[in-house]
Amino acid sequence: MVREVWKRELADAVRDPAELCELLNLDPATAKKANKVSRDFPFLVPRGFISRMQQGDPNDPLLLQVLPRLEELDDVPGFVSDPVGEQAARQGAGLIQKYHGRCLLLVTGGCAVNCRYCFRREFPYAESGASPSSFTPAVAQIGHDSSIHEVILSGGDPLLADDALLEDLIQKIASIAHVQRLRIHTRIPVVLPSRITEHFLRIMHETRLTVCLVIHANHAAELDSTVAESLRKLGQVIPLRFNQAVLLRGVNDTTESLVHLSERLLDLGVTPYYLHLLDPVRGASDFNVPEETGRRLVEELRNRLPGYAVPRLAREHPGSPSKTWLA
């Protein structure tokens, strides 16, 4: 059987920092440092995403998001393995409930890219029970709780699952009368746009659920013509499309960078939704941007953009009944 394009691209993704440095004409010493820190949270980046990086630039904003750095080994007070308290919110195999009326279903433990600042970089997926066999009890649990009106597919990246599996899962969720909405949190339309198959688009078109797609892009350079095409197709079947970005030092912590991101997203039919302050996960402290800087940046965005193009600055506190809006 012929493997789908996106599966071939994923299998061919770069898993060795030395190869990435060679492809981008970077100092090989950079790769040696990266190798020292990528054992626990492996290095992984698709070639299409690499093709959007600048040759010879060690500070490229896309490169910085994926290349392991020695600073990951620093033990910084306040940076912990579970920064948003997800372990306490686990409801059963693959199910997390943090907020009223919504629950999170972990569809996969894998992603198409490993972002070094990820708040789930130490999430114990193997213990969480997230697997196709856990969906039956998880869906039954959702069916028994009539307060749940929205199911959020998360991961890892939920679109790493096969179309057949997603179709079956979404049909099961849609069979629960009190669930009205399906939200999909995914970075895949940005990092592996070929994953948006005709089959997936059909599933989105046919479900009775109102679908809300939340993508994750942090810099305008991530959104090239291949991403634009995937978002155009998604726009034909999913009216609600939003972006969540993370405010990252060296990547997007300037007004210009955030203005370009918002403008590019709007041109592609995606509303800038949240600008998250970094969740203090162990190994990511080097990306941290102070809250005051975040507030100032959003204030400056208000002076440059129409209101609908300004994302909300937000932070998540473990155990809180909602995210905290800071600006």
Nearer to ligand SF4, 115 or 204 (CB): 115
User: Can you read off the two tokens belonging to residue 213?
Assistant: 């797609």
Q: Say which residues have a Cβ less than 8 Å from residue 147's Cβ, sequence separation at least 6.
A: 100, 101, 178
Q: What letter represents residue 296's amino acid?
A: R
Nearer to ligand SF4, 179 or 288 (CB): 288
Query: Strand, helix or coil at 178?
Result: coil
Q: In what order do the strands lie in the sheet with 95-96?
A: 90-92, 95-96, 102-106, 150-154, 181-186, 210-215, 240-246, 271-276, 312-315, 324-325
- Give me the least distance between CB of 117 and ligand SF4, in Å please: 7
Binding residues for ligand SF4 (CB under 6 A): 111, 113-115, 118, 120, 155-157, 187, 216
Q: Which residue has the tokens 């910084």?
A: 76
Q: Is the dihedral of CA 306, 240, 180, 138 positive or negative?
A: negative
> Which stretches within the chain are classed as H helix?
5-11, 17-23, 28-37, 47-50, 61-66, 125-128, 135-143, 163-174, 188-191, 198-206, 225-237, 255-267, 291-304
Nearer to ligand SF4, 17 or 156 (CB): 156
- Give me the least distance between CB of 44 and ligand SF4, in Å please: 8
- Give me the least distance between CB of 210 and ligand SF4, in Å please: 23
Bridge partners for 281 per DSSP: 80
- Give me the least distance between CB of 187 and ligand SF4, in Å please: 4
- Give me the least distance between CB of 2 and ligand SF4, in Å please: 27
Query: Strand, helix or coil at 238?
Result: coil
- Give me the least distance between CB of 156 and ligand SF4, in Å please: 6
Nearer to ligand SF4, 61 or 156 (CB): 156
Nearer to ligand SF4, 21 or 115 (CB): 115
Nearer to ligand SF4, 246 or 258 (CB): 246
Nearer to ligand SF4, 113 or 148 (CB): 113
Nearer to ligand SF4, 123 or 200 (CB): 123
Q: Which residue has the tokens 């070639």?
A: 47
Say if CB 74 and CB 285 are below 8 A apart.
yes
Q: Is 73 exposed, middle or buried (0-12, 13-18, 19+ CB in 10 A)?
A: exposed
Say if CB 297 and CB 245 are below 8 A apart.
no
- Give me the least distance between CB of 28 and ligand SF4, in Å please: 25
Nearer to ligand SF4, 190 or 301 (CB): 190
- Give me the least distance between CB of 116 and ligand SF4, in Å please: 8
CA distance 117 to 132: 27
- Give me the least distance between CB of 126 and ligand SF4, in Å please: 16
Say if CB 149 and CB 177 are below 8 A apart.
no
